[in-house]
Amino acid sequence: MRIAPRSLRGLTAVFLALFLATTVLAAAGTYWATRSTIRTLVDRRIASESLELAPPGARLSRAELMRRMIDVAKQRDTADLGLLLIDPSGRAIIGNTHLTRPVPIGFSSLDDEDSIEGLSAGRIYVRDVGAGMRLAVFGETEPIDDYRSARRQIYLIAFGAIIVVVLLGLLLFRRLIGRRIREVRDTAQSIIDGDLSRRVPLEGDGGEFDQQAAAFNRMLDRVDQLMTEIRFVSNNISHEMRTPLARLRNELSSLENRADGDPLQEAIAQAREQVDDLLGMFAAMLRIAEIESGSRRAGFATVDLNALVESVVETVAPLAQERDQKIAVAMPDALALGGDRQLLAQALLNLCENAVRHTPPGTSIRISADRHSTEITLTVADNGPGIPEDQRTVVMQRFGRTEHGRRQSGHGLGLPLVNAIVRLHRGTMKLTDGDPGLSIVITLPIQGG
């Protein structure tokens, strides 16, 4: 199964590996191709010289071969060629050099071990020329001593320079791409945190990155416009409804007081409670809108989580005692994080009140925390009936309630409010199975700002 790189780092690594492999193969191929070409040219030359000295089929005497070799040496510049005539016993008859080892018939290579003066590498061609004699002609394959080593250095420097230049270009390219991706990611994170005014910065060069950033910003402008319109409508409805509802509540309270002993008093009291519930719902909606705007993040400070949990437990304890419920706390010492103390207290209070109100008498509730290197995990768990897995997503939505919850008072904004507070602190909230019961796990970064 083929797996494609899924990140900029992976893509860079794959490109770098392919480039290095290609460069190394190209350098090795160039080196061997150059070396093979030189050997072929030298082989052609020494074969041509050998055939000219002793043409095929010509039966030349030893004296004639010696004369021809002397004439060739006088008539042309053959200082870079070695000529040697060998008798049937392997001894040199005539030539301008000598060999320290027997050389086979045909083409073969020479090197420093052959101890030929002035030759560090070369090719030799040996053939029978009749009467048991052999003619050896050899030539250099290197114009200077140790040229092979010099050629390797040249290739290493040349291709090494290419690798260095490409690596520098790749690093700069990756840095540029990484910076642009980071800018988009930071902008998206700010949008998630509620700052809808954040935009991707532009370089002003009109390039591809700027065009992409401009298109992304136009999309954010449109999203901001739509969200503003929705927020404006919902906030207006909440504000406008609160006034007549508050007036209606006051009138119902007045009627309730005047109808002392009247059969309608109970109905008036129920109507007032319903109005109170509606007022609480609109207050919660406005509270969520305020939190999601992100404005409260400016006032973040260090919060003593141990003291906060203790304060919330003291507030909820009387209600739990009425229902014969127990609240246990397991917190490490000196637990602190950056955040809004009032909002964090409200979130924890909502979770504890939910655990008390939506579980049967005798239920045990446990608040615990764990400290990690960069985050704190806060868990509120109970051993009650829990929430079915297919309904956990529902209760996280505004006005979302389980079938059991619909038969109880409330408006389905408690957990969405807690989730909004958690998101404001750049944390996460998850509902899991307590086995039995429900566990609500909140993960918050220690540096909440």
Both ends of the chain: CA-CA distance in Å?
Answer: 43
Q: Are domains 8-148 and 208-292 of this chain identical in fold?
A: no
Residue 1 has a pLDDT of: 43
Task: For residues 164-170, give the mean pLDDT.
Answer: 82
Beta-bridge mates of residue 95: 84
Structure confidence by residue, pLDDT tens digits, 257-278: 766 656 676 777 777 777 776 6
Q: Which CATH number fits domain 8-148: 1.10.3930, 3.30.70, 3.30.450, 3.30.60?
A: 3.30.450
Q: What does the angle CA 38 – CA 152 – CA 166 come to, to the nearest 5 degrees?
A: 120
Residue 441 has a pLDDT of: 92
Beta-bridge mates of residue 130: 133
Residue 10 banded pLDDT, cuts 50, 70, 90: confident
Residue 240 has a pLDDT of: 60
Does residue 103 have a pLDDT over 60? Answer: yes
Does residue 335 have a pLDDT over 60? Answer: yes
Structure confidence by residue, pLDDT tens digits, 190-242: 777 767 778 888 888 778 888 888 888 888 888 777 767 666 666 666 556 66
Residue 401 banded pLDDT, cuts 50, 70, 90: low
Q: How many CA atoms lie within 13 A of 229 on its CB side?
A: 5
Residue 368 banded pLDDT, cuts 50, 70, 90: very high
Long-range (24+ apart) CB contacts under 8 A made by 280-287 are 280/411, 281/411, 281/413, 282/238, 282/241, 282/242, 282/245, 283/242, 284/411, 284/413, 284/414, 284/417, 285/234, 285/238, 285/398, 285/413, 286/235, 286/238, 286/239, 287/417
Helix axes 208-258, 265-292, angle to 10 degrees: 160
CA 118 – CA 140 distance, rounded (Å): 9
Task: For residues 129-156, give the mean pLDDT.
Answer: 77
CA 49 – CA 32 distance, rounded (Å): 26
Residue 66: C-alpha distances to residues 10, 52, 85, 126 (Å): 70, 13, 8, 16
Residue 44 banded pLDDT, cuts 50, 70, 90: very high
- Is the pTM higher than 0.85? The answer reads no
Q: Look up residue 143 and give its two tokens.
A: 């114009």
Structure confidence by residue, pLDDT tens digits, 236-264: 665 566 667 677 777 777 766 766 656 67
- What is the residue extent of each domain of the chain? 8-148, 208-292, 296-445
Residue 100 banded pLDDT, cuts 50, 70, 90: confident
Please name the fold of domain 208-292.
Helix Hairpins (1.10.287)
CATH entry 3.30.565.10 includes domain 296-445: yes
More confidently predicted of 164 and 145: 164
